[in-house]
Every structure is written in structure tokens, then in C-alpha cells.
Structure 1
């Protein structure tokens, strides 16, 4: 995985292309169970490089050891092109594989990903979903003080439960 990491950190399209041509496994994982594609997203590689990896067999539906998906990674690292691509490929915006029940909208709320939250809402994401501890996307947006995301969500700032956190 070290060669992959070296090329991905440098967003090196040509070296990745040569590495793949020489037989590199696009579904290799690191010690945390993160795939090449997940690492490329984390290193904020260009969309063309991500597509090269995908076109050469990377599994866009894979999960790491914690249940974090490529879709989750795209949201976390604010990769709107990848979010749209994955939705086009059939990713369910309401599905989570995390034991905690943490959803895509919760991630967008936590990180203040306004554009991604808009996309998720347009795709019919369940705004009322709760995680294993009973928290919703609204709760995460309030806790993280992401007012711009709160404005998009079904949020009543005058509700008694919403008198703390962001208003």
C-alpha cells in the first residue's frame, strides 16, 4: 500500500496509471481497512484520478472495518463530484452500514457540507433518521453550530428542545 499512498498523496495520475498497468490492485487496503479509493478521496485527489481507479476495478460500494463507505468518505471530504457520481451509480442516500447508525445527512450536518446536504435532501434523504444514541441530523447540526445546514433541515428554532446550541 506504500506505493499507492505515495502516488495518491501527490495526486500523481501518470504514476497511478502506470502502477495499475503493471498489475497494482485497486482494491488493496491499508491496516485500517481503507481502500485505495477511500485513501484517494481522503488525500483529495482529482476526480479524473478517482475515476481512473474506479474504471480499473475499485469497488465503489466497499466499506472499511468500521462500516464507513466510499459515499461517507466523499461527504466527509466534501467531494461533491464523487457524491453525485455515487448517487448516479445507485448509492442509497438513506442507507448506513455503521453500527452507530450515523447517516450521510448526519455527516453533512456535522461537517457543514451545505451543498451536499442540499443534494441529499433533493434525493429524498430521511431527515428524521436517528442514530443509535437517538440523535438526528438536526441534533448534529445544532451541536456543531452549523447554522447554514440547519436552515436546510426541518428545524424549528423556537421549539423548546432547540433552545440550546445554534439558533
Structure 2
């Protein structure tokens, strides 16, 4: 095991990264290579804005490809449906909460940094709320340090879906 720790990813998250990697390699990379060749054909590279822009874009694409390949190679892919965590909140779990102050109900799935998307109710494992929830079970309360002070949530249900 190298110094890089495994990055947890859900099955869906890994698939999302794989799709992006595939698109970069099959569409973006070839198109930027073509753009560089076309810009180079225009002659003088010292004042060639198209060439500079294409080279910059190529650098970005290659960097992102390396980034994605690194993430996928060090990923620990977790299928939430196969978790057996005895009702505790773990990575990949979906948690139904009640905000004890407002009575509002919220449901979050705890995912990796790359998958987090609050619009889809997916929160990062490294977020304060996820950190406060890890290890809790239905009936427990979690204190979360929020911008406006501490918020208390009661865990109503934990599912692995």
C-alpha cells in the first residue's frame, strides 16, 4: 500500500469519473491535437493566439486525464447496497435527518468529494455534517457546527441504497 490512501467512491461516482475520462480521451484530446496542428499551420507561433489557447487547453485536458486516472486507480469503490454496517452511518449510506430546531426533514447520501452535489442531496464525506454523522444510528442526535452556530439533527433512518 503506497502513501496515497484509498479514496472512497460510490459505484455511481466511479462511473461518472470513468465517463469523463473516456470523453476526454476520445473526444477532447483528439480535437485539441487537431486544433494545435491547424494553429501551427498558420505559421508564426509567437503571436498565434489560437495556438496558445489550444496548448493551454491541451495542458488542462492532460492534467485532468492524469487526475482522473490517479483517482480511479486509488479509488476504493463502494456499492452502498452491499454495505453491512448494522444501521450505522458510513460512507455511501443515505441518512434521513430531522433538524431539531426547525423540524425540517432532510435526506443526504454521504459520498466522495468528487461526487458531492447538494442539489442531488449528496454530501461529501469530509463535510462537517457528514463527519458529525459517521458512526451514528437511527435515534442518535448529531451536533453539527454550522455557520450560524451548532445545529442538532436527529438521525431518523439510515439506508444503504
**Structure whose residues are more often helix by fraction:** 1
Q: Which has the higher contact order (CA 8 A, sep 6+)?
A: 2
Give the TM-score taking structure 1 as reference length.
0.23
**Structure whose residues are more often strand by fraction:** 2
Q: Which of 1 and 2 has greater Rg?
A: 2
Give the TM-score taking structure 2 as reference length.
0.24
